[in-house]
Amino acid sequence: MGSVLVVCEKPSVGASISAVLGAKERGDGFFSGNGYVVSWAVGHLLEPSPPDAYDKNYVKWSYADLPIIPQNWIYTVTIGKSKQLAILCGLMNRADIDAVVNGCDAGREGEHIFRLVYEYARCTKPMKRLWISSMEDSAVRAGFDNLKDGAGYDRLYAAALCRSKADWIVGYNATRLFSVLYNATLSVGRVQSPTLAMIAAREAEIAAFIKEPFYIVELECGGFNAVSEKYKDKAAAEAIRAKCDNKDVTVTSVERQKKSAAPPKLYDLTTLQREANRLYGFTAAQTLEYAQSLYEKKYLTYPRTDSRYLTSDMVDTAGGLAARFQSKDFFVGKEFTPNIERLINDKAVSDHHAIIPTNESVNADISAMPLGERGLFTLVVVRLLTAASSNHIYESVTVALNCAGENFTLKGKTVIEDGWKAIDNAFKASLKNKPKNEEDEEAPVPPELTEGQTIANTRAALREGFTTPPKHFTEDTLLAAMENAGADEMPDDAERKGLGTPATRAGIVEKIIKTGYVERQKKNLLATTKGVNLITVLPNELKSPLMTAEWEQKLKQVERGELNDEDFINGIISMIKSLISENSAPKPEFFGLFPDTRKQASPPMGVCPRCGAPIREYNKGFFCDTRSCGFKLWKESKFFTAKRKELNKAIAAALLKDGKVPMTGLFSEKTGKTYDAVVLLDDDGGKYVNFKLDFSKNPKGVNHGPRT
């Protein structure tokens, strides 16, 4: 009887699953034993090959080559990962391996990582799928007891391929297009560009903001203060202050309203990243790294989830967890009976449920965890307890007052029952750096205030304030903006909205920072000049979040089999072809935006014989638009100056069109006399463009004009 090969996404996961399966014998890049061989990828072992893998001429960037659309996609081994790929291919084709289990992360990219290797190895052995949401031993055993047919995830793989191909088509073609047009390396992506556009737009709003003063009249009523509306006119506000100073105030109405604030929902990855950024200053990438590590250590459930609910079969598990952590005094304050039913919604869970602690984590030594993981684990435990707690109940009070015919207001609230806020407030009070921008607690209203009551001899003061600009994006607010981007324009029943997915947003943020388009200043994310300039030259379709949000929705349709993958890709190709045809030349108003873009560019006067890009006239010569091409015709070329001629526009145009031009009166340094000849363009693609002379009377194919 043969063995079953299990392919995990990471070595650490492979080691953990090997221990559960009893595969304890260590090999080179795998474990074996008890009928199993357990190996692993190291993330993506294969990636789509660059354009020059399809055609060596694509090494040079040329407008004429666009669009570049692979007909048969080929893949390149990721740098530094060839050994593990070879190990996996060898194992998949080993004679004693009867079946292969995809044990990569249970999601779109996990499917992608495994299937590319499976196909690269040309493996045809039966394929099963391990689909789990926890790395606990019990969850792994249950997963292997209920392995799925690998074919059942074909559509998930199709969606992963569509996402990968769409990113390649848009990324390579749009990047080359705008880099060639503006003679600068400009990175463009279907998700990163609209994300950058949001940051740039926010910075523009802040830059354009003009601070304006406003004035409020404040009544000091002995124990509480009441305020007027805001006034833009200081003189008008001062007149009201003088009018009300030392006057009696009458309570005209007291409105009391009992309100209830429900607990927050459990975390999905995005809300966890947002909260960790706000409270701890973690980047989205750091939060994902910590959560993934805690998952692999069996302390948290699967982190790359977009659900904030649990399934109905988890009632007992969640209830037991809440009770056990409550007994460990996780900022509970007082005992409560967890309401687990409010955490359950089967329809709101697709691939994975919300992030919660595992049963094994209850006995973990939290103090021994690395600092970042400890903070994140605490967040998840506290959220489980608050989400299962009772409502926060309070009485909201609005008091209307009148003084000398002018209206004033006092607002406040009285807490009736702390509910989930008791846990939340106790946790936040324990933090070294207390969170800022928390919702301000309204001051309690003096209970003796009643309608018709009079307060004598109040003092009136004038308080000046200023309008405030929009706030810079932080990773907290940017993730929220990415999640909701385009949502108002999407159908209400759209399953996937926003830019990217919970699993990819952190990578997008890191990429636009790494490429220099955005920079971090403490928690703030600011668009750089380079980033703003890029967004300035991009057309709306590449900056709009709606297009990418629609694509994410269509990828879900591909996954469910509601949309053919070829139709999805054809839509991407159609869009990129239109983009290229509509942007065939740079816009003159943008020439000064990039350091390497020449400011005095003219309309094209020929086509580059090397790469097919436009040739334009500049002060010193005629240069190709493609920065990496290097084709240049210098007006003071040594070849022409030695012959006492200038390489003018007419000569350059003829050389570009025909490759040759007849010329008269060429000076000979050797004889001191002049002669006639045909100048031939003799370009071998090197650093300099060369020329040579043809002295035949009528060279075949020569256009005899212009003559000089």
Active-site annotation, residues: 302
CA distance linking residue 73 with residue 65, whole number of Å: 18
Is 424 strand, coil or helix?
helix
CA 217 to CA 529: how far, in whole Å? 43
Distance between CA atoms of residues 606 and 681, nearest Å: 14
Q: How many CB atoms lie within 10 A of CB 82?
A: 11
- CA 550 to CA 499: how far, in whole Å? 9
Q: Which DSSP string corresponds to 460-513? A: EEEEEEE--PPPPEEHHHHHHHHHHTTGGGS-TT-S--SSS-TTTHHHHHHHHH
> What is the C-alpha separation between 516 and 506, in angstroms, rounded?
16
Q: Cβ–Cβ contacts within 10 Å for residue 479, how many?
A: 27
Q: Which residues neighbour 19 within 8 Å (Cβ) at sequence distance 6 or greater?
A: none
d(CA 546, CA 540): 10
127: left (phi over 0), alpha (psi -120 to 50) or beta: beta
Question: In terms of Cα–Cα distance, which of 464, 616, 487, 458 is closest to 545?
Answer: 487
Distance CA 317, CA 136 (A): 13
Residue 362 has what DSSP assignment? G
Looking at residue 600, the DSSP 8-state letter turns out to be T
Beta carbons of 175 and 188 less than 8 angstroms apart: yes
